[in-house]
Structure 1
Amino acid sequence: VNVRGTWLMSRACHAALAASGRGAIVNLASDTALWGAPRLMAYVASKGAVISLTRALAREYGADGITVNAIAPGLVLVEATEYVPESRHRLYIEQRALQREQLPADVSGVALFALSDLARFVTGQLLPVNGGFVFN
């Protein structure tokens, strides 16, 4: 789903974005692809593929005025991460430059930037959003 869904959605949106003469795609990767989280091999590999796909799409879609970037959140405090052991949450907090839980708003702000006119000349980039857990 991570790679195929990203590719299919980008392909489905391409014609409309190209026709508008301006478009922006923001893909969702993960910082686990940057540090190789243990026991998550398939997930880490799929998010690494999303990063590579983002770069390839940026090259391909750039001629149509479409920017393509990816954000790589860390461990975000949401319902979907409730299964993650407390020890992993503590590890993230203790190893971040900004030592606190990561909230959904931390990610959405960067997504809004990447979709905005402020980022019109930013494409093919990975934007880690993890409070400095992993630097890029």
Structure 2
Amino acid sequence: MMSHFNRLLEGRRVLVTGGARGLGHAFAQALGQAGARVVIADILDERVQTTAAELAAQGLDVSGIALDLGNPDAISACVAEAVERLGGLDGLVNNASITNSGGKTCEELDIDTWDQVMQVNVRGTWLMTRACLPALRASGKGAVVNLASDTPLWGAPNLLAYVASKGAIIAMTRSLARELGSDNITVNAIAPGLVLVEATAYVPEARHRLYTEQRAIQRPQLPEDVSGAVVFALSDLARFITGQTLPVNGGFVMP
């Protein structure tokens, strides 16, 4: 099996949330090809097992766990099981998130939707990171990669809850990097643009066209376009990089 990543993560133990499909699926595949042992976690219980089996059939060390990021007890149980399976943890990819607020103006957005997005995207990322810290500290070279978005970098309209939650991820990344640097844990954020995955199928064609036409690289963005940045951020090549947000969007946003 050919890979761009040349066993860059040989023997690393990594947990990826939201790994059943889309970006998470692509990340798990790339991490496995780079030599990592991977546990993917997702609320889509049957789908996460199917995805894990598919990747295992490719010769990759990938297994799946059910996870509801809205449930703090489920987060603790997921991390405990992942650490037990892997014998420790070297990397965490906080990829899972929900949108829910797409297409609504700030006046149309309801409180329940706002609260649900914040609960999963912001609180879930915090609790997942917190639960993983003992194992990441024990690793001696722990790395956290948070999936942000380029939407807060350009102020995408009619998507307020999601944009606010991803802006919070960027801010949390900086704060966590300062807190955890003394533990030799790096914390960085990757900010993709609009990626062609199942979760973005609802996005109007005009928004897809806006992204494609205004990128420096004028083509649709695929999940595989983001994988290299995640592999790099988890590798020894990035051990002195922390607190950073890397837009991966073909040059749509250039902060």
TM-score (norm 2): 0.53
1:42 is aligned, of 151, 155, 161, to 161
Structure number with greater Rg is 2
User: Residues 1-136 of structure 1: matches in 2 within 5 Å?
Assistant: 1-136=120-255
Residue-pair matches, total: 136
CA deviation after TM superposition for structure 1 residue 103, in Å: 0.5
TM-score (norm 1): 0.98
CA distance in 1, matches of 2:128, 2:246: 20
CA distance in 2, matches of 1:111, 1:21: 19
CA distance in 2, matches of 1:55, 1:85: 32
CA deviation after TM superposition for structure 1 residue 19, in Å: 1.2
Name the % identity: 79
Q: Which amino acid aligns with 2:250?
A: G
CA distance in 1, matches of 2:243, 2:210: 30
Q: What is the DSSP-based 3-state SS (H/G/I as helix, E as strand, rest coil) of the residue aligned with 1:25?
A: strand
CA deviation after TM superposition for structure 1 residue 36, in Å: 0.8
CA distance in 1, matches of 2:235, 2:221: 22
Query: Where do 4+ consecutive residues of structure 1 move more than 4 Å?
Result: none
Q: Which amino acid aligns with 2:141?
A: R
Structure with the bigger percentage of helix: 1
* Structure 1 unmatched runs, 5+: none
CA distance in 1, matches of 2:187, 2:148: 12
Q: Which amino acid aligns with 1:18?
A: R
CA distance in 1, matches of 2:214, 2:152: 17
Higher relative contact order (Cα pairs below 8 Å, separated by 6+ residues): 1
CA distance in 1, matches of 2:156, 2:174: 22
Root-mean-square deviation (Å)? 0.6
